[in-house]
Amino acid sequence: MTSRRVGIKEVAAAAGVSITTVSHALNGKGRLTDETRQKVRDVAAALDYQPSALARGLAGGRTGMLALAVSFVDDFSLPVADFDYFLQVMNAATSTALELGYSLTLLPTDARSTRLDRLPLDGAVVMDPVRADPIVEPLSGRGVHVVTTGRMPGGPESACWVDNDHIAGTRAMLEHLEQEGARRIALLTAPVTSSYTIDALQAYEAYCAEHDAEPIVATIDETSEGGAFAAANDLLDAPDPPDAIYATLDRLALGVLLAAEGKGVRVPEDLRIAGCTDSEASRAARPALTALSLNPERLGREAIELLIELIEHGVPEEPHRIVPSLVIPRGSTRTIAPSTLRVD
């Protein structure tokens, strides 16, 4: 048999004060003496009083509702469910929101056409925003708190975001490919519109300049295995083809692997393949694909924690958070003894 939850009335009665005094004492409001405030808090703790998240939110003019959206470029038509990375971020974000007393709703991928002004949101997490983002800007414009996973290119310095260090991560992956014998490394990238693709391209070009190597960049509009398959075929048909390809999404790396198989190119003997973001498909591939894991569960958790801190306490002391990434060597790059390389 479960005991009835203690309410604010019981706390007020036990402390010998009014309900208003209890509310002010527990929320740091009102003109109360330190003695009264501490007494109320001690009584509440002794009774194991847990204030209602909904009541607390309504009292502060909040709804307790958060949203999560993925900001796709216009020609990005693949569903979110096709990407392990997005699902892992969303699952972690949902459970974290519930633990902290908030509900989280997932906005559709065409959220830019949704009447965002009709949603009674306290805040939102937007994944992979683009410049002048069509989801971030309308929400921010109506006073909704926003945290992004990945930085919005050209966004204000005061923006709150959680991200990986993609420059360091890309560099670590390129060095891994070099250690495995690669000398002509190509970059296969999704549209360079999000901060992670911008950072990956910057790191790649810097690496090539330092090594006096010819940059080999293929940018595709169709972010799918099919698009990567076609681009990889072109790269492998070149007079001097690359001996390694780093793709900025796991699905693109899978498309490269398919192209190599179709041409009879041996992986990893003739071509080393690696991708940014890890997935079940990457692990199940033959050979298994080397990946840069972005720690998506931690990204989702920290994004929600940062958002709630922003909602409840104003601009956080640390509005920018970096989550470590991991280089996970597998058979596609000929690592004999797999290990995990952390990138801080």
As a whole number of angstroms, the distance between CA 262 and CA 240 comes to: 18
pLDDT on residue 341: 57
- Burial class for 34, CB neighbours closer than 10 Å (0-12, 13-18, 19+): exposed
Instruction: Tell me, yes or no, whether 185 and 240 share the same domain.
Output: yes
Whether residue 323 contacts residue 295, with contact meaning beta carbons closer than 8 Å, is answered with: yes
Q: What gap in Å lies between CA 123 and CA 258, rounded to an integer?
A: 41
Residues 141 and 224 grouped into a single domain: no
Domain of 20 in residue numbering reads as: 8-51
For the record, the structure tokens of 222 come out as 């169709």
Give 267's Cβ-side CA count (13 Å radius): 28
pLDDT for the residue 149 = 97
How many structural domains is the chain composed of? 3
Question: What is the rounded CA–CA span in Å between residue 122 and residue 56?
Answer: 13
Q: Are 97 and 125 in contact (CB under 8 A)?
A: no
Query: What per-residue confidence (pLDDT) applies to 148?
Result: 98
Instruction: Identify whether 228 is part of a domain.
Output: yes
DSSP classification of residue 2: P
Identify whether the C-beta of residue 263 lies closer than 8 Å to the C-beta of residue 294: no
Chain Cα centroid distance, residue 58: 29
Residue 186 lies in a domain: yes
Q: What is the pLDDT along the chain (344 residues), one digit of tens a residue?
A: 345 667 777 888 999 988 778 877 876 666 788 889 889 889 988 888 876 555 555 555 678 899 999 886 444 445 565 578 999 999 999 999 998 889 999 887 665 555 666 778 999 999 999 999 988 988 888 889 999 999 999 999 999 999 999 999 999 999 999 999 999 999 999 999 999 999 999 999 999 999 999 999 999 987 889 999 999 999 999 999 999 999 999 999 999 999 999 999 999 999 999 999 999 999 999 999 999 999 999 999 999 999 999 998 888 889 999 999 999 999 999 855 555 555 65
Buried b (16+ CB within 10 A) or exposed e, 189-208: bbbbbbbbbbbbbebbeebb
Domain presence at residue 318: no
Residues 157 and 302 in one domain: yes
The per-residue pLDDT for 75 is: 45
Residue 269 counted as domain residue: yes
Residues 236 and 335 in one domain: yes
Are both 228 and 79 inside the same structural domain?
Answer: no
CATH code of 13's domain:
1.10.260.40
Shared domain for 154 and 171, answered yes or no, is no
Asked if residue 57 is part of any domain, the answer here is no
How far is the CA of 84 from the CAs of 87, 88, 330, in angstroms?
Answer: 5, 6, 18
Residues 260, 306 within the same domain: no
CATH number at residue 136: 3.40.50.2300
Of 222, 270, 213, 209, residue with least CA distance to 249:
222
258 phi, psi to nearest 5 deg: -65, -40
Q: What CA–CA distance (Å, rounded) separates 122 from 290?
A: 39
Asked if 190 contacts 198 with a C-beta cutoff of 8 angstroms, the reply is no
Residue 3 lies in a domain: no
- Please tell me whether residues 239 and 281 are part of one structural domain: yes
Asked if 219 and 262 sit in the same domain, the reply is yes
Looking at the structure, do residues 132 and 182 belong to the same domain, yes or no?
no
Residues 254, 148: one domain?
no
Same domain as 201, residue 140: no
